[in-house]
Chains A and B, each alone.
Chain A
Amino acid sequence: MIVADGLVKVYNGVRALDGVSFRVEAGELFGLLGRNGAGKTTAIEILCGLRKPDVGTARVGGLDVVRDPRAVRAICGVVHQVPSLDRWLTVYENLDFYCRIYGIPRSERQVRIREALALADLTGAAGRMVTALSGGMRRRLEIARALLHRPRVLFLDEPTIGLDPAARREIWAFIADLRRREGVTVLFSTHYLGEAEFCDRVLILERGRVLASGSPAELKAAAGVRTQVPPAPVTLEEAYLHLTQRAVH
């Protein structure tokens, strides 16, 4: 579903991505890990047709992100790391605006907006200004909004940033439910390693390069080999710290 091949992106001398290649199969839940500045957001923005790589190619749903960015954007839903709700509009107006920008026909808008509101558990809040919502409610709204045009691939850049544990759990339950019902492919980035435990596969970026990739179990095994002192790591967080050599001894 997603194929990245040798992606390079340089911002005035900073190599944000330095030859990144990977694949995500259809229907997978794929986690992108890595410290601040590792290149996660840059990778996501290239894959959803928002930025051009300097070198390399990528295909999403069989479409080339450089040659056909608009077609790629049509099949992708994106939740950006920075909030992108319109603070001057109500919850309903935000959803309606999105529908119109994505060319959803008028006849279907009502139904889809109602579904999105139900999904985000915000049916009663449709008429409220988004500034009156809590952080968690806003994030849920952003995720539900990204699904309005029924994307085949969903990109979530730190979807649970700044949320309390209960709200984080709710968001993941929400995403799991969504995958079950719609079968979307989900690629997300996170700093909460616990969230990545449930991924089909994860990829660790380090200074714009792929440091490791595989299923959580595979990463733990790989980290286990490196651990001089047994026992091998039991959580992905421990494995991550070993692999990125930031383990505290």
Chain B
Amino acid sequence: MAVMPLWEATWAIWQRDVRSYWRRRVRIVAALARALLWLVVLGSGLRPLMAGTGMDYVHYILPGVLALTAAYSSLQAAVATMAERESGFLRVVVSAPVPRMVIVGGRALGGATEATLQGALVLLVAPVLGLRPGRAGVLGALGLLFLTGFALTVLGMVLAASLKRLEDFGVIANFVILPMYFLSGALYPIPPLPVWFKALVALNPLSYAVDALRGVLVGAYHFPLGLSLTVLALVSALMALWAVPLYSRE
């Protein structure tokens, strides 16, 4: 098959994903509410205790909440793929003469787009919390959300493919997302942490997403931006290589 139809098929899956995302608006609202809950409840509640971060605590956790939002949308997109494998549109795609790569690619682009849109909604609220990132900051954050969403969707597709029962995914998702979130420097600064904790943070791909987001939004970096981008790109590539064979039927 020529290059054109491959791209056409990927684009079709992407478009279908974004359309159905938009048609499930309740989820969009629910995800926004969850993000605001973190920001307002945790942010305002811990603000007096966390003067040591060197900035307003709500501003400190905003990048982490953005990354968390991206993580939830991505994993949701990933699990939809598994659900639709036995019925629904994925069955049509696997019966079609397209390589499996297209399924992973199209879905990952869809998940990345949804993560970006969902993050953009949270960013819209930022001025209300007193944070006004410049245009460059916003554009940078959107780009990072896309890259993060892509990496996490493929990671989620690998996870979802190895689960026997999809109902378990809700539990697994929290079991994966929340530790990644807590071990990412999303909630507290990294330098004062003990060495073992620092090591876990350094091994966690979400740390690089959070750190880069914080960098572009409020100008404070722990890791060099180049390193963070490389880590996210590498995770995407490796997970994609792993995911493709999982989505072939025996």
Chain A residues in the interface with B (C-beta under 8 A)? 45, 48, 50-52, 70-71, 73-74, 76, 78, 80, 82-89, 93, 96-98, 100-103
The segment from B88-96, B111-119, B213-221, B228-236 found at the interface with A is B88-96
A62 → B minimal CB distance (Å): 16
Q: Do A82 and B91 touch across chains, with their CB atoms under 8 A apart?
A: yes
Q: Is B9 engaged at the interface, CB distance under 8 Å to the other chain?
A: yes
CA gap between A85 and B24 in the complex, in Å? 17
Q: Please, what's the 1-or-0 string for B4-21, where 1 marks a CB less than 8 Å from any CB in chain A?
A: 010011011100100110
Interface contact B96-A102, CB-CB below 8 Å: yes
Q: Nearest Cβ in chain B — how far from A8, in angstroms?
A: 13
Contact (Cβ within 8 A) B95 A100: no
CB-defined A-B contacts under 8 Å, sample of 7 = A52-B250, A70-B97, A82-B87, A89-B16, A89-B19, A97-B89, A98-B92
CB <8 Å contact, B97 and A71 = yes
Contact B8 A100 (CB under 8 A): yes
The answer for the CA separation of A45 and B95 in the assembled complex, in Å, is: 9
**Minimal beta-carbon separation of A44 from chain B (angstroms):** 11
Closest to A90 in B: B19
Is B249's beta carbon under 8 Å from chain A?
yes
B167 CB within 8 Å of chain A: no
Is B135 part of the binding interface, using a Cβ–Cβ cutoff of 8 Å?
A: no
Residues from chain B with a CB closer than 8 A to the CB of A102 are: 96-97
Pick from A52, A73, A101: contact of B9, CB below 8 A: A101
| Contact assessment for A101 and B19 in the assembled complex, using a CB-CB cutoff below 8 Å | no
Instruction: Name B's interface SS.
Output: helix
Alpha-carbon distance A78/B93, docked complex (angstroms): 11
In the complex, chain B residues whose CB is within 8 Å of the CB of A89: 16, 19-20, 89
Q: Which residues of A contact B2 (CB under 8 A)?
A: 103
Give the complex CA separation of A50 and B5 in angstroms: 20
Q: Which residues of B contact A84 (CB under 8 A)?
A: 87-89, 91-92
Select A101's contact among B23, B24, B98, B250, beta carbons within 8 Å: B98
Q: Chain B residues with Cβ under 8 A from A70's Cβ?
A: 1, 97-99
B86 within 8 A of A: yes
Query: Which of B8, B19, B96 touches A88 (beta carbons < 8 Å)?
Result: B19
Residues of B within 8 A of A52 (CB): 249-250
CB neighbours of B23 from chain A (8 A) = 88
Q: A78: which B residues are within 8 A, CB to CB?
A: 95
CB distance from A174 to the nearest CB of B (A): 20
Question: Given A97-B92, A101-B98, list of 18 further CB < 8 A pairs?
Answer: A50-B94, A51-B250, A52-B250, A70-B98, A71-B97, A73-B96, A78-B95, A80-B91, A84-B89, A85-B88, A86-B88, A86-B89, A86-B92, A88-B20, A89-B19, A93-B19, A98-B92, A102-B96
Contacts of B98 in A (CB 8 A): 70, 101, 103
B97 touches A48 (CB 8 A): no
Contact of A74 among B92, B93, B97 (CB under 8 A): B97
Report the bound CA distance from A88 to B91 in whole Å: 15
Partner of B95, one of A50, A85, A93, A103: A50
What's the Cα separation between A135 and B95 when bound, in Å? 22
**Contact at A101–B96, with CB atoms within 8 Å?**
yes
| Residue with the highest number of chain A CB atoms closer than 10 Å, among B8, B88, B95 | B95
A71–B96 CA distance with the chains assembled, in angstroms: 10
The listed residue (A80, A82, A86, A103) touching B8 by CB distance below 8 A is A103
- Which residues of B, 73-126, contact A by the 8 Å Cβ criterion? 86-89, 91-99
- Complex A-B, nearest 7 residue pairs according to Cβ-Cβ distance, in ascending order: A88-B20, A103-B5, A100-B12, A74-B97, A86-B89, A84-B91, A101-B96
